[in-house]
Amino acid sequence: MLALFSGLDAWLIVSLVVAVTFVLAFEFINGFHDTANAVATVIYTKAMTPNLAVFSSGVFNFLGVLLGGVGVAYAIVHLLPVELLINVDTGQGLVMVFSLLAAAIMWNLGTWYFGIPASSSHTLIGSILGVGLANAVLTDITVAEGVNWQKATDIGMSLLLSPLAGFVVAGLILLLLKVWKPLSTMHSSPEERIEVKGKKHPPFWNRLVLVSSAMAVSFVHGSNDGQKGIGLIMLVLIGIVPAQFALNLNSTSYEISRTRDAAVHLGDFYQRNSASLSEYLALGKPQRTELPKVFRCDPEQTEATLASLIKLLDGVRDYSQLKDSDRIDMRRYLLCLDDAARKVGKLDVLPASEKHDLDKLRKDLTETTEYVPFWVVIAVALALGLGTMVGWRRVVRTVGEKIGRGGMTYAQGMSAQVTAAVAIGMANVFSLPVSTTHVLSSGVAGTMVANRSGLQAGTVRTILVAWALTLPASMALAAGLYLSVSFLFY
């Protein structure tokens, strides 16, 4: 890790440390909001003691971050348009990172203070969208190009539908449990069990399901929300010290060969489908043999970009052989080729089998750019765990007591947690960020309705207002900060 500071100016080192600290602070606050939800039901139902619950949750969050891959991390990064990702300089990178992080942290702290289970995912995504739109205002990029709207739409649908699914599925599971065992003590609340049975803890198998599902939620939370922090740190590293993080300098010669082969095969793919793609990619038409000095992603320059990439990779067995400027250029070529290939894959002119081949080529093409250093994973996992241990009380009380008019029963806790674990796990499979807060809270609300306990209108209204306001508020905050600082210093 310390090697990344070698050769850097003092002001750049300070900026880098502060920026990474900001990201870790965001993940620490994320623990107040999201990770606390993972243990809310087991603490409220007394299936686990608070200290044991938060410690265990921290361990499973760590494992989730460690084993979760990078799909969600780079889904977050690619919310920004490819033009901003490839042409950002160090100063602009600092303004971008600090604006979106400051906006996210301010909104998260405000909602946490009032005990509102607001979504860190919504906050982060809104902040990124705000920066992208503000950058469009300051440059010649149109608003339509200021954000990767296709990615934003996919993520938006995921964030919208996952709470609805949580509400319905958790309610259905509870109804099935009532039909299966209507007189079981699992339909009692902790207070009722203490009063009737004099026992503090839930029945054994209820306790087992509550604990195991809580740890499952912690694991999938780590692999989903933890990756958001990872994506932010990679955005920081690439934006501030691109020469060292534009490419994975630990890539093996085999991985580099796969990247080069993917570029060659991508050229073959386009030639094979030239009849369908010649208009979009200007295949076979006169093109500039050299790319322009100010590099822009242009599908019509795909052939020239491929040729430049293959030439740059010729004979390279170790990325450290490349000059700093060549590494940055290579990342630009790879991102633009991947962006063009993604757009080609959306065209109706290609058969499904060809689109499948294109997806595999894209994966090989970006393997050495979409990576995460191990120290980043460790840092994010620790920040999430510590945040959980500090701020869990406010959210646990809201989830356990303030959503429904009655206290949560063991069956409700199980239904909500199992639903959340499955929903977030499925989102991880498709590399889509979702909100642990909203999935679990809506699951609890669904069980309250199914149990005919009713909902506390004030709490539900507050959660819904926070859900509706988080995205536009964080967008406005981030855009305002980005524009203000940019006008002051540029």
Give the alpha-carbon dihedral of 40, 41, 46, 52, to 10 degrees.
Answer: -50
Q: What is the mean pLDDT of residues 404-424?
A: 82
| Angle, vertex CA 146, rays to CA 144 and CA 330, nearest 5 | 120
Gap between the Cα atoms of 485 and 488, Å rounded: 5
pLDDT in tens, 362-401: 999 988 988 888 889 889 888 877 776 665 565 555 554 4
Provide the token pair at 199. Answer: 């026992």
Domain check: are 96 and 9 in the same one? Answer: yes
Report yes or no: 440 and 166 within 8 Å, Cβ to Cβ.
yes
- 271 and 179 share one domain: no
Q: Provide the percentage of residues in the chain whose pLDDT is more than 90.
A: 13
User: Is a pLDDT exceeding 90 seen at residue 87?
Assistant: no
Cβ(185)–Cβ(197) under 8 Å?
A: yes
Domain boundary pick from 333, 365, 397: 365
Instruction: Please check whether residues 136 and 168 belong to one and the same domain.
Output: yes
Domain boundary among 317, 333, 365: 365
Q: Which amino acid is at 415?
A: S
Shared domain for 306 and 378, answered yes or no, is no
Using CB atoms within 10 Å of the CB of residue 89, give its burial: 0 to 12 exposed, 13 to 18 middle, 19+ buried. Answer: exposed
pLDDT of 260 higher than 90: yes
Dihedral sign computed on CA atoms, order 394, 397, 398, 399:
positive
User: Residues 225, 116: one domain?
Assistant: yes
Q: Which residue range forms the structural domain that includes residue 476?
A: 2-244+373-489
- Considering all CA atoms of the chain, what is the largest pairwise distance in Å, rounded to the nearest integer? 84
Cα(485)–Cα(321) distance, rounded to whole angstroms? Answer: 37
DSSP 70: S
Amino acid 116: pLDDT: 64
Say whether both 141 and 184 belong to one domain.
yes
Residues 66 and 172 occupy one common structural domain: yes
Q: Collapse the DSSP code of 292 into the 3-class scheme (helix H, G, I; strand E, B; otherwise coil) and give the result.
A: coil
2 band by pLDDT with thresholds 50, 70 and 90: low
Q: Between 41 and 219, whose confidence is greater?
A: 219
Question: Are the CB atoms for 174 and 411 separated by under 8 Å?
Answer: yes
Nearest-angstrom CA–CA distance, 265 and 262:
5
What single letter denotes the amino acid at residue 465?
A: V
- Please report, as a single letter, which amino acid is at residue 42: V
46: left (phi over 0), alpha (psi -120 to 50) or beta: left
Instruction: State pLDDT tens for residues 316-358.
Output: 899 988 888 888 888 888 988 988 888 888 888 888 888 899 9
- Supply the pLDDT for residue 7: 64
Where is the domain boundary, 314, 339, 365? 365
Residues 198 and 299 in one domain: no
| 3 state SS of 42 | helix
* Rg, Å, the chain Cα set: 24
Q: What is the C-alpha separation between 214 and 10, in angstroms, rounded?
A: 44
Amino acid occupying residue 227: Q
Inter-residue contact 428 to 68 (CB < 8 Å): yes
**Least confident range of 303-307, 402-406, 462-466:** 402-406
Distance CA 444, CA 163 (A): 10
Q: Quick one: which of 327, 343, 186 has its CA closest to 259? A: 327
- Count other Cβ atoms within 10 Å, centred on residue 124: 29
- The domain total for the chain is 2
Looking at the structure, do residues 383 and 461 belong to the same domain, yes or no? yes
C-alpha span between 232 and 211 (Å, rounded)? 31
Q: List the one residue out of 98, 164, 195 whose CA is nearest residue 464.
A: 164
Out of 19-23, 31-35, 122-126, 393-397, pick the least confident: 393-397
Q: Return the bridge partners of 455, or none.
A: 404
| 301 and 229 share one domain | no
Residue 266's pLDDT band, with cuts at 50, 70 and 90, is very high
Based on the fold, state whether residues 24 and 132 are members of the same structural domain.
yes
| 13 and 155 assigned to the same domain | yes
- Token duo for residue 308: 């430049």
Cα(41)–Cα(89) distance, integer angstroms: 46
Highest mean pLDDT out of 18-32, 114-128, 318-332: 318-332
CA 116 to chain centre: 21
Task: Give the alpha-carbon dihedral of 437, 442, 448, 449, to 10 degrees.
Answer: 170
Strand partners, 404: 455
Q: Could you tell me where the beta strands, DSSP code E, fall in 27-67?
A: none
Question: How many angstroms separate the CA atoms of 146 and 134, rounded?
Answer: 8
| Lowest-confidence pick of 87-96, 331-340, 478-487 | 87-96
